[in-house]
Amino acid sequence: AQSVTQLDSQVPVFEEAPVELRCNYSSSVSVYLFWYVQYPNQGLQLLLKYLSGSTLVESINGFEAEFNKSQTSFHLRKPSVHISDTAEYFCAVSLSGGYQKVTFGTGTKLQVIP
């Protein structure tokens, strides 16, 4: 079965500084990888996903993640964070193909400090 590990439970960072949220996965077969974001008192929203093709995927609000098969990682990065990026970020993995079970990590709380 697939699993995902988010090593950092909380990441404080100053506004306009860069940030990296780490995610490692475990699977013996081909996977899809996701980052979801959860703002306070809201449900999860898809931030970006890797299905196949280019290993670098981007979101519309400046985040990017790179699929690294050799290191089984899918770290999330942003070169300059904004106060509005304060939220909890969840890495998730599923087997490739539709309607597969998605396994979520424990989440990383990003706290942007003004």
Partner 1 sequence: EAGVAQSPRYKIIEKRQSVAFWCNPISGHATLYWYQQILGQGPKLLIQFQNNGVVDDSQLPKDRFSAERLKGVDSTLKIQPAKLEDSAVYLCASSPVQGAETQYFGPGTRLLVL
The DSSP call for residue 62 is: S
3-state secondary structure of 84: helix
- 105 is a contact residue toward partner 1 (CB under 8 A): yes
Angle at 59 between CA 20 and CA 21, to 5 degrees: 15
* Minimum distance from residue 114 beta carbon to partner 1 (Å): 25
* Minimum distance from residue 88 beta carbon to partner 1 (Å): 9
3-state secondary structure of 21: strand
Phi, psi of 84, rounded to the nearest 5 degrees: -70, -10
Given a contact cutoff of 8 angstroms between Cβ atoms, the answer to whether 85 and 76 are in contact is no
Q: Binders of partner 1: how many residues, by CB under 8 A?
A: 26
Binding mask 4-33 for partner 1 (x = CB under 8 A): -----x----------------------x-
| Binding residues for partner 1 restricted to 39-98, rule: CB under 8 A | 41-46, 49, 51, 90, 92, 94, 97-98
**Interaction site with partner 1 (CB under 8 A):** 9, 32, 34, 36, 41-46, 49, 51, 90, 92, 94, 97-107
